[in-house]
Every structure is written in structure tokens, then in C-alpha cells.
Structure 1
Amino acid sequence: MVSTNMGESLIHDRIWHHAQRRPDMPAVIDGNHIFSYRELIERAERVGGYLLQLGAGRDQVVGLSFPRSMAGLVHLLGVLWSGAAVLYLDPDWPQQCLDQMTAACDVSLILSEQGIRVLDAEYSPSAAPGVLAGIDGDSLCYVVFTSRSTGVPRGVLVEHQGAANMAAALAETFGVGVGTRVLQFAALSWDAAMCEIFLTLSAGGTLVLAPDAARVRGAALAGVLRRHAVEVVTLTPSVLDAVPVVDLPALRTVVSVGERCHPDLVRRWTSAARRVLNWYGPTEATVAVTVGVCVPGEDIDIGVPLPNVLVRVVDGDGRDVPAGVPGDLLVGGVGVARGYARQPQLTAARFVVDDQGCRWYRTGDLVSQRPDGTLTYIGRDDNQVKLRGHRVELGDVEQMLRTHPYVRSCAATIVGDRLVAFVVGVDTSVDARRAAIDHAHVWLPAYLQPSEVHAVAALPLTDNGELDRPAIARWAMTYLTAYPATARPASGATPRRQFLRCSSRCCRSSGGS
């Protein structure tokens, strides 16, 4: 059993201990290359030692700009070894965005394939390392920038104690131990990547790096899982929907994250030898808050809190609500982040302290709690849209359309007074478009029935594997421009429907399989 002892509050210390006990165990698989814990630690310690000589230390943030690779992992751990915190800077992002991130975090050093870059002309390297002794659970571990639903980028400051608790708790929950092969799929700019890396290496497992080609093609990803005998994967429902369920004898734990898990996903991926888990957690609560076990045919919930994580469900006045009553979710405990980089007002608004001195993060998510502590996710308190006077939760529309056996995945968006849906069929031999239309007529009220339904080969995904909703909105605008309706429905009336098949150019631009 993996320990959740908070005395072990530094991720890199746990990895170092595994390297001392089993130095020849595989730590990382990168393509056809297998690297041992000895190789990983020796390289990381060299990077860390050099950063110490450059003055890196507690609560300093070091930029990291590497592609997914063994070298990137080495330098990430090297930053932690120096006592500094990691900020991943995606080399494919606009330079203006990267400049804003580095400025917000006072970054002076950036590590990349080209070497070490010093941003501050007045930066003075130190020749006297020794600050590492001051690193503890309260020290900064990493920074992740996220916009969530507001669209305002903000750097979340995560401490070591939260990262260590998350890694230990999830390793135990997912069944990750010595030698367990875990896929590293998430983009390094997403905090889920920190989770995959930390929980695997701190438990003595083997991290399998997904090549970029496999990250965007379902069949290729299935091939990676089979070839490397991957046992545990954490993927968004959008990615899992695109992966064919083929013979994967080693795969025993599939974790759904980042989006609402749906019944068809649970049905497709659950077997006698494989379980499906549903994981919930915002960046501000160190990635993971709750995990639930999904059972085919049963309601899907987000589970119960992890060890050392506290939750409250409250009303608009901050008072606890009874079991079964929807309310706002607050998260407390060791995983609550320090706050937002250089945004004190936003930090004060989202991170609050109660009368007992306990810090809580306001998630902005609506949930209900059963008497046994299990949480059911309802939606965002700011994610509803209004359509012809009705409040609409797009996720409810999508979930209902997905219940048809011919529909593998779908996405909906609002353009003006129209509800537009895009659907992906289970295969090319079925008409998912017609299936979705008929299903909506039977199961959805008139105001929730799509004005238009389009069949597409794949849905657009972000680098994190989540549904790219801005791209969906652009698709809808393109269709409305190219195929204008001959008549608009009156307010509150059942809309006139157009049924158009997506062009191949549009599907190719999605980046899907």
C-alpha cells in the first residue's frame, strides 16, 4: 500500500528513495528507449546541482521549455532538486503569452533544448549552494496557468505538500506501485501531466511517454497501449471515445478526467479485468479532489474525497446544505494552492478562510452530496447558457444524444437563437446524424432539440485532450454562414431543422482520428 504520510512531503525525495532501493528498475519508456531510475536520478541531480550554483532555490520559479521527452523529465526533476519550482512554457505557444507568464512568476532562468536562458540582466548567480535544506512541504512545487471558464489566464501556485498528497493518494487509488506502467499523455502545460509524472515515479512505477502522433489518433494510441503493456491510463472522455476498444490485456485501470464522464464510455471500457474511475479536481486544489468507481448501468458520480482533502457543499450564503441538496463545492485540506501569481484580489475572492482558520477554495462547481459522502457533479455555476428564454446546460444535451448506440460522441453549442450539435458515429456504416435527430425528438423537450445536427469524423480537441469548445463554436458559425436557414423560428417555437454532413476539410482541421 502506498503511504500518504505527509512527512514525506517532497516528491523528488520519494523518487530518490525508489532509485536507491531499485536503481535498475525502468523509470521511463520514451519510444524504443528504456531508462532506469539510476539514469533518471543521476541526470536530474546534475541539472539540480548546476541550478543551485546559479542561485535557484526555495519559491523561485524556473521556466521549462522541452517537448515530451526523457530530457524534459530530467530537467523537470532537476528544477525540483534545486529547491525551485517548475513553470512549463510550451514552445508552441505565442511568445506574448509566454512573456506574460514569466513576468507574473518573476522567472529569471529558462531551461530548454538550447540550454539555460537568463531573462534578468541584473540576475547574479550564487556560488554558494545550500538553500536546499530549507525546502519543505510549504515550499512552492510548480505553477500552472489556467483560464478555466472565465477566460482570464492565471498562474496557480501549488506547494509540495499538496503535490505529495495527491501523488500518494492517487497511486494507491489507481493501483500504481513498483513496476506499474502508466501512460504519460497529458500536455505538460496541463496539471494532469504533473499528476501522471509524480504519482508514477514517486510510487516506483514506469512512465510510458505517449508520442505526439498517438496523442491525436485513437488507433495509434491503442497501439501504444498494447505495445508497451500499459496498465493505467488517465484520459479525457473525448480521447477515450476516439480510441477503439481492442485487445489490451495489460490495461486494468482507465481514469476519466477533465470532462463529464458518460454511460457509454463506462460500458465500452469496463470489463471483468478492467475498471473505470471518474476523477474530479480543479488546478487550484492540486489536480485531484475526488475519485469515483464507475459501474455500467449505474449513475455516474465523482466519488469521495481523497485522504487529507476536505469538501463542503454550501448555499449562496456559505452555509452547509443538507445531503441531496445542490450547492457550491468548496475544497479544503493540504491540496489547496497558495493562490494566484500576482493576483491578490482574485486570490482573496476564490480562496477564503473560515471562522476556524481553515482555507477553502471556491471551485465554482455545483454538486450534491449523498449521506455517505459521495459527490454528484451537476455543472458549472457559470456554464449555463440561455436559449429563447430557457436556461440550457449543454452537457445535458450532449449526454442525452450520446445514449443512442449509434452515437459515439457529440458536442453542442449555441449560436444566436440556435442550438447546434455535432455528432460522431460508432462507425461509417451508420447514420449518426439521423440517429441523433430521432433520439432528440423522443427524449428532449422542444427547446432542447438541436436546430441543426452535423455528422463529423471527429470532434476537435485541445492539446490537453479536452473538447475544444471555441473550435466547435467556429464550426457552427461556418455552417450558419455557408447554409443560412430559410426561416428562423419564432421565440419559444420548435426550430426548423437542417441536417448537413460535415465537409472533409472541416474534419481534417479537427486534429482528431
Structure 2
Amino acid sequence: MTTSASAAQAPLDRLAAAAPARTLIDILTDVAARHPEASAIDDGSGALSYRELLARVWRTAAALHEAGVRRGDRVGVRMPSGSKELYVSILAVMAAGAAYVPVDADDPDERARLVFGEAGVRGIVAGDGEFVAADPDAGLVRLYDGDAPHPGTNALPVVAPPTVDDDAWIIFTSGSTGVPKGVAVSHRSAAAFVEAEGRLFVQREPLGPGDRVLAGLSVAFDASCEEMWLAWGHGACLVPAPRSLVRSGEDLAPWLLRQGITVVSTVPTLAAMWPADSIENVRLLIFGGEACPPELAARLVAEGREVWNTYGPTEATVVACAAPLDGSLPVRIGLPLDGWALAVVDAEGRPVAEGEVGELIIGGVGLARYLDPAKDAEKYAPMPTLGWERAYRSGDLVRFESAGLIFQGRADDQVKVGGRRIELGEVESALQDLDHVSAATVAVRTTEAGVPVLVGYLVMDDGVELDRAAARAALAERLPAATIPLLGVVDALPVRTSGKVDRAALPWPLPGVDAPVATDFSADEAWLAEQWQAVLGLAVTDRKADFFDLGGGSLAAAQLVSRIRARVPEFSVADIYDVPRLGAMAKALGPLLHDETPSTFHRPAPTPRSTQWVQTLVGAPLFILSGIRWLLYLLTASAILQLAPGFDVLPDVPWPVLVVGLLIFATPFGRMAIAVASARL
């Protein structure tokens, strides 16, 4: 280890700045005490204040305790997204001393069973709030039956709260062996993360009760923890967005305006679909989960709005470092949060010099742990060259610059698509288990529309054709919808001299993309087929083709909507779900596609700031004239009152002056004359 390189990396060590040890429940109760009447969550059915939220959390925690949940347990949460009950359940599990283990309600049942089994949950909160214990002899408990508790009951000690060493949540990430990996985050790490971000963002006007925070991510995605605690850590209001709107991308934009959203944490792919004026109320915009394109940052940076780029694996508690964005290059992932330590090392584990590329190592208060002890010992091994007893090797390559780190890519087969971290090995394992598949691999490709897609390349047994619908159905039983790849068939997988698959040599676009459009397609069907191909990356040759069976997901659907709206502005993601087949979609659009002058639809641009100032200055004379008219009314009233005794102290104005003033400024004829004179000027 070179002394000069270690000294150069001193800005990457923020261990000494860690916040005092607390739990998330400590933070919530402290915020509720300071802002009891502020709105804590608003799911569209009515807002809950912090006082009301805390009362419901403690009552639900008591119900879980009575059902057998104890401190140190783990409780699964699998509820429909967006409801107050989902978030109350999450908080109640933690308040009862347990860790919540989230699974998205849309994920396959097999994955849910695998996750809950690996975690060893005491029970599962599902549906509308039914707690189903793991013990088959225990009865079902309905957590939200009956009237809501009185807000004053939040002061009653119902269960023993968690300690800083207890786990707050356990989130499962994609596994290279085909089995998801459980990552446990302690209250100490989670609370340190919340407080570190509180010290980082919008310091001139900190987050508070006036802010409304978008909750648009699945709670099975660790970035949802950032959404929740950007609100609950500062007295702001969490506003869950309907899942259908989040999937639509472009349709979410007007919802943000209507809801008065001021804080958004999202992935760049989704934000790229929003026009800049749709986030005019947003004063804090945080990107994470995937690389942020520089042109996106430049477009969304605005006066009065902070834009940040964040980086962090689940294994280091959501975010490990962050950088403010101002639209300039390069786009950095920044410097560590308070309490975190980073190092950029070479192949021997020694710190690299300024400007050099190396693997990013993470240490500090944010380190989580794997449920699998062997995996934990492997990935969180000591780093003697750094003097760290425990460190997480991220597998990410970064360039070290003291102004902020710059992401360079992965050193392994892990990828991110749509903000979701995916181990290619997990997807490959599922592909290789398909019937009549002799070999398979996976790669990330980019379609003509700029959509990153996961593509599965299959080598079929001799004489067997791929049954695409059956294959996708089999994959849906094992993989989350967002990780089911587009399927393509190749004769053989290209390999390097080392024997490993050469992903760079895999064909893209897929074979057959350049095939001519079917001759029996109508003009509308042919145009739609071109849009599908641009988004999906493969040829569409059958009017019975199903968008989702071909590999379309929520992100691809949102991109397709953007393209179709060039000719049909009213088209929405819901329409794709209603008519997913090519022929049916073309028929539903019908006469709306017959206009052969596409793309005359434009969104109105916001009024420039300079024009707003000019309008304000030009309007000043109107305010003066209005003031003169009201002054004349008051002086006239004063003159009338002076006709009676006792009002001699009122201002005295000659009657001729009043009469002339009223004729000019108060009568319709006088005001019309002023308007004509102003127009001529």
C-alpha cells in the first residue's frame, strides 16, 4: 500500500462523522413529537397525521406481539402497493422488534415461498392486513379490523421497542447461483443512513412538514426505504402513487403536479419520460439504481431544485455516496455519506492514485450482512491492505477523483435494468431449466428506442422449435416480471478461447428483425409493428402477437406509449394492457391512426423566468391605477363624513378634485379613456 495513494483517498473516509446510534422507531417517535399534526402519509383515501400514524403502528405492533411475534423475529410483508395499511404494517413489524421481509405482491408465488423460507419468517402480513403465522395451528389475525385507535394512545407502552443491533429489514437481491440472497440491515445502519441524508440534501431549506415525497417504488426494492424515510425522518408526507401510473411513466408526470410532490427519488429511465414542466414543484430530485445520462441531468436541473446522483448496493444500506448534479460533465457518484468509508483499490487491494480506475470497496456504519454465513464471510471479508476488519467488495469499477468518484462499470456479470439489480446467473439458471433447451445465456441490449432490455439467448434441442408463450409462463413461475428476458434462438453460443461465453459476439438485433413486414398487414398494423420492433428489438410478423409475450414489460410499455402518442395523444399504458395483441391494438386505435400527419402534438413549454419578470413589471402601472381608484373612494367617504360634526380629524380634499378624480378613475367612461390612451402608447 502506497502512503501517497492512501493519503489522496482521505476524502473517502467519513467514519468519524457518523450520527449517534438510534433506531428507526426512535426517529419516527421523535419526529411525531415535534410534528404531531403534520401529515405523515396520504394514499388518496385520506391523510394520517404523525400522531394518528404512531397510534396505528403501536396498536398493530401489539396485535403482532399477541400473535407470537417477538423481538429478533422476521415477518414477511406481501401486500398490494400504495395503501396506508402496507406502510403501517412495515412500521408495526419494526416497532414489535422484528425485521420486515418484503416481497412484491406481483412477484411469483414460488419466489415468495423461497424468500420467506430462506428468511425463516414467523408469519406473513398479506392481503388487506391479515397476519398468517408460520405455525399452521395458529389462526389468522386481521390486523386492521375495528375502529382506528384514538391518536392519544400512541403514548401507551405496548411492546418493547427494538434495539440498535436488531434488524430493521431483510431484502433479497438477485443471486448468481439462481437463488436470491437475503441481506439484513440493522436499525443502527438504517438510522445512520436516514440521518446522513438529512445532513446532505437541501440544507438551506431542510425537508419538513411542507414537503410531499413520492412513494413510487416497490417496497421489495431497497430504494423504497429512501422514499419512506425522506418523509418520516423529517416530518414530511409520504404520497404513494398508484402502481399503474408508475408503470406508465409519462402518465405519472401530471399526477406529480396534481399531488404537489416536492421530493422524488427515482431511476433515470423513468424520469427520462417526464417533461421538465411536470416536476416544476419538485425541489429535491434524487437519481439512483442505474447510471444517470448527462443529458437527462442537464434537462432536469433548474433554479430552486437540487438534483443528486446516488450510488449504493443493498449490502451497504441503500446509498453509500452521492454527488450534486448541475448539468456539467462528468456525472459523478460522488463522495461518501457521513459514517461511510470508501476505497478504490487495484487487483492487490492497494489504493489507487488520483485518476486511476479500481474496484470500489465500502466500509463503515452502513455495512449490512448476508443471512448466509458463508456468503457473508466471503463478501464482507477483512481488507488488511486498508486496515479494515470488515469490508464489502462491490464488484463495481470506479475512477478515483478527489472531487467525486466516477462509475466505470462492473467487474462481473451483475447488471442493472430499470434500477433493479440482476445477477445474470439467476436468469441463466432459469433459462437452462426450460424444456428442450440445451444451452442458454443472458445479456443486456439496447433497443432502437433506447430501452435497455434483458435478452435470453437459447440453443434448442435438434428439431425443436421454441414455444415462446410456454417458456415465458415457465419463467414467470420462478422470476419476477422485471427479470424475465426477451427470448431469442441461436444455433450456438459464441465462446472465447477461455471457454466462457462471449456476450459481445451474441447477435443484436435478434435474427429476423430486418425481415420485411408481413404483406397481409394493414397500414395501421404495419406502423404499429414498426413501433413494437423499435421498443422490443425483434420483428413482429403476426397480428396475433402479444406485446407482453414478446418480452414487453412496464418500461417497454411506457416507451411504446410515448411513440404512439406522436399520433394518438390520448393513448395510455392501460390501453396496452387492455389490447396487448397487435391486430386488436390497431383496430382499437382505428380512425385515430388515419391522420397521416403525425407528431403535431406538443406539450406547452413553461413560461421563461425572464418573461415572468417582464410581465410583473409591466403589470405594475395597473396596480397603481387600482390603488388610486380605491384611494379616491376613501377620500370621498372622508369628505362625506366631514359634513357631520366630530370628523374634523379626517383628511380634507377639495370637492372639485374628488369629482374630477372619480370621473377619470371610477366611471366606465374614464377607465375606457385610460385604456385607449395606454393602448396608443
Contact 2:39 2:50 in 1 (8 A): yes
Describe the shift of the 1:419–1:85 C-alpha distance in structure 2 as closer, same or farther (beyond 3 A).
closer
Cα distance in 2 for partners of 1:198, 1:173 equals 14
1:347 aligned partner, one-letter code: D
Describe the shift of the 1:21–1:500 C-alpha distance in structure 2 as closer, same or farther (beyond 3 A).
closer
Cα distance in 2 for partners of 1:269, 1:472 equals 31
Q: 170-179 vs 92-101, which deviates more?
A: 170-179
Describe the shift of the 1:215–1:474 C-alpha distance in structure 2 as closer, same or farther (beyond 3 A).
farther
TM-score (norm 2): 0.57
Cα distance in 2 for partners of 1:258, 1:346 equals 23
**Paired residue for 2:553?**
510
Shift of 1:165: 1.0
**Paired residue for 2:160?**
132
Whether 1:353 aligns to 2:373 is: no
| Structure 2 runs not aligned, ≥5 long | 1-16, 141-156, 419-439, 452-475, 490-505, 517-528, 534-539, 559-681
Describe the shift of the 1:267–1:101 C-alpha distance in structure 2 as closer, same or farther (beyond 3 A).
same
Question: Counterpart of 2:168 in 1: which secondary structure?
Answer: strand
2:107 aligned partner, one-letter code: W
**Paired residue for 2:207?**
177
Whether 1:59 aligns to 2:72 is: yes
Q: Deviations over 1:431-461 (max 9, x none)?
A: xxxxxxxxxxxxxxxxxxxxxxxxxxxxxxx
Describe the shift of the 1:474–1:223 C-alpha distance in structure 2 as closer, same or farther (beyond 3 A).
farther
Q: Note the 1:396-407 alignment, pairs <5 A.
A: none
Looking at CA atoms only, which structure, 1 or 2, has the larger radius of gyration? 2
Cα distance in 1 for partners of 2:450, 2:309 equals 24
Equivalent residue for 2:112, pick from 90, 93, 98: 98
Question: Counterpart of 2:219 in 1: which secondary structure?
Answer: coil
Question: Counterpart of 2:448 in 1: which secondary structure?
Answer: strand
Equivalent residue for 2:410, pick from 361, 380, 390: 380
Cα distance in 1 for partners of 2:275, 2:339 equals 37
Q: Deviations over 1:120-175 (max 9, x none)?
A: 348899xxx99726x32221110000016675410001111111111112233233
1:70 aligned partner, one-letter code: K
**Paired residue for 1:29?**
42
Q: Note the 1:303-314 alignment, pairs <5 A.
A: 303-314=334-345
| Structure 1 runs not aligned, ≥5 long | 386-392, 396-414, 427-461, 487-498
Contact 1:168 1:203 in 2 (8 A): no
Describe the shift of the 1:484–1:152 C-alpha distance in structure 2 as closer, same or farther (beyond 3 A).
farther
Greater strand fraction, Structure 1 or Structure 2? 1
Shift of 1:5: 6.6
Cα distance in 1 for partners of 2:345, 2:481 equals 29
Contact 1:58 1:140 in 2 (8 A): no
Cα distance in 2 for partners of 1:89, 1:418 equals 25
Equivalent residue for 2:189, pick from 156, 162, 167: 162
2:80 aligned partner, one-letter code: P
Contact 1:12 1:202 in 2 (8 A): no
Contact 1:156 1:340 in 2 (8 A): yes
1:321 aligned partner, one-letter code: V
Q: Note the 1:251-330 alignment, pairs <5 A.
A: 251-330=282-361
2:53 aligned partner, one-letter code: L
Contact 1:236 1:258 in 2 (8 A): yes
2:382 aligned partner, one-letter code: V
Question: Counterpart of 2:391 in 1: which secondary structure?
Answer: strand
Cα distance in 1 for partners of 2:445, 2:99 equals 43
Cα distance in 2 for partners of 1:477, 1:39 equals 57
Contact 2:70 2:98 in 1 (8 A): yes
Whether 1:229 aligns to 2:243 is: no
Q: 471-480 vs 307-316, which deviates more?
A: 471-480
Cα distance in 1 for partners of 2:130, 2:40 equals 24
Describe the shift of the 1:189–1:205 C-alpha distance in structure 2 as closer, same or farther (beyond 3 A).
same
**Paired residue for 1:43?**
56
Shift of 1:21: 2.5
2:105 aligned partner, one-letter code: P
**Paired residue for 2:8?**
none
**Identity among equivalent pairs (%):** 30
Cα distance in 1 for partners of 2:229, 2:327 equals 30
Shift of 1:25: 0.5
Cα distance in 2 for partners of 1:67, 1:360 equals 36
Whether 1:367 aligns to 2:398 is: yes
Q: Deviations over 1:27-62 (max 9, x none)?
A: 111125222112211111001112223332332111
Greater helix fraction, Structure 1 or Structure 2? 2
Cα distance in 1 for partners of 2:530, 2:278 equals 35
Describe the shift of the 1:369–1:149 C-alpha distance in structure 2 as closer, same or farther (beyond 3 A).
farther
Cα distance in 2 for partners of 1:150, 1:418 equals 16
Cα distance in 2 for partners of 1:217, 1:100 equals 29
1:375 aligned partner, one-letter code: L
Q: 90-99 vs 200-209, which deviates more?
A: 90-99
Question: Counterpart of 2:447 in 1: which secondary structure?
Answer: strand
**Paired residue for 1:489?**
none
Question: Counterpart of 1:63 in 2: which secondary structure?
Answer: strand
Cα distance in 2 for partners of 1:120, 1:323 equals 57
Shift of 1:510: 3.2
Equivalent residue for 2:99, pick from 82, 85, 89: 85
Question: Counterpart of 1:423 in 2: which secondary structure?
Answer: coil
Cα distance in 1 for partners of 2:443, 2:227 equals 40
Question: Counterpart of 1:332 in 2: which secondary structure?
Answer: strand
**Paired residue for 1:10?**
23
Q: 156-165 vs 242-251, which deviates more?
A: 242-251
Cα distance in 1 for partners of 2:65, 2:482 equals 40
Describe the shift of the 1:423–1:83 C-alpha distance in structure 2 as closer, same or farther (beyond 3 A).
same
Whether 1:20 aligns to 2:33 is: yes
**Paired residue for 1:390?**
none
Describe the shift of the 1:275–1:119 C-alpha distance in structure 2 as closer, same or farther (beyond 3 A).
same
Equivalent residue for 2:240, pick from 209, 225, 244: 209
What is the total number of aligned residue pairs between the two structures? Answer: 427
Equivalent residue for 1:71, pick from 85, 89, 93: 85
Describe the shift of the 1:38–1:202 C-alpha distance in structure 2 as closer, same or farther (beyond 3 A).
same
Contact 1:233 1:254 in 2 (8 A): yes
**Paired residue for 1:422?**
447
**Paired residue for 2:573?**
none
Contact 1:8 1:14 in 2 (8 A): no
Question: Counterpart of 2:277 in 1: which secondary structure?
Answer: coil
Describe the shift of the 1:23–1:371 C-alpha distance in structure 2 as closer, same or farther (beyond 3 A).
closer
1:178 aligned partner, one-letter code: G
Shift of 1:326: 0.8
Shift of 1:275: 3.0
Shift of 1:478: 10
Shift of 1:361: 0.6
Contact 1:149 1:382 in 2 (8 A): no
Cα distance in 2 for partners of 1:217, 1:483 equals 26
Contact 1:234 1:255 in 2 (8 A): yes
Shift of 1:365: 0.5
Alpha-carbon RMSD across the aligned residues, in angstroms, is: 3.5
1:16 aligned partner, one-letter code: T
Describe the shift of the 1:81–1:417 C-alpha distance in structure 2 as closer, same or farther (beyond 3 A).
closer
Shift of 1:481: 4.6
Shift of 1:18: 1.7
Equivalent residue for 2:277, pick from 216, 237, 246: 246
